[in-house]
Amino acid sequence: MAKDRTSDVTRPKSGGKGGRTRPPANVVAPQRPWGLIAAAVAVVVFAVAVIGYAVVKVNEANANRIESVDEIAGITSKEYEAGQHVATTVAYAESPPIGGEHDPVWADCTGTVYDVDIRHENAVHSLEHGAVWITYNPDEVSAADIEKLAALVDGETGRMLSPYVGLDSPVSLQSWGHQLKVDSVDDPRIEQFADFLTRNPDEHPEVGASCERPDFIADPPLAGEPGTPAP
């Protein structure tokens, strides 16, 4: 009788020692650089804020910019002949004056802040040189108000500030042939006037004339005092 034969069966080999399968290795996901990401976001946010602030400031400046003196609401203007030097006290049509006869010596207007009512005839000569003269009624403005006005003048060549006794408004601004009176030092027209008319070559007769007069700063003559003898 034939011998039983067992069919050959291919069996899979067991892996590892003892027939056990090795577990898969743990895979660690790469960590995100959160610190670097946060720093980059902060830089972007800061840049956006800076750009936004700059845009706002530019828009504000453009909104306050004018192309003509007629755009300043409330300004009054008058034509005056230049070069009229006198040594006497002048009876001006406007108070403070904005043009006409004046002293041969100009008041220093190199961003000068006076604490006295300077002689008007000297101040008018400064207007002829392109200065803006800001005046205030010392009985109607506070010390803080005066500081705000001084900040617009101090160090700005072509500007000067002084009290003006008896002024009929808290603040008045003068340039050659132009005047603006306002009730508050916070009136935006103050900066409009000063920015547009300070040494504007189209708005004063003696373009390029000096504003320096150190001897005047040292001993400024007061309103109503005798003038300098005419040459």
The more confident residue out of 60 and 52 is: 52
For tokens 């803080």, the residue is 144
d(CA 128, CA 190): 20
Return the SS3 of 152.
helix
Average pLDDT of the chain is 88
pLDDT for residue 150: 99
Q: DSSP secondary-structure letter at 87? A: S
Query: pLDDT tens-digit profile of 43-58?
Result: 888 877 777 665 555 4
Q: Each residue of 144-201: pLDDT tens digit?
A: 999 999 999 999 999 999 999 999 999 999 999 999 999 999 999 999 999 999 999 9
Sequential DSSP letters for 33-55: -HHHHHHHHHHHHHHHHHHHHHH
pLDDT at 59 over 70: no
- The Cα 123–Cα 131 span in angstroms is 9
* Residue 64 phi, psi dihedral angles, 5° rounding: -90, -10
Cα distances (Å, whole numbers) of residue 99 to 30, 81, 131, 141: 80, 8, 12, 26
Domain borders along the chain are 69-218
Q: What is the mean pLDDT of residues 111-126?
A: 98
CB contact at 8 A, 127 and 103: no
Picking from 27, 179, 26, 169, the residue whose alpha carbon sits closest to that of residue 100 is: 179
Contact 228, 86 (CB under 8 A): no
Which pLDDT value is given to residue 23?
A: 66
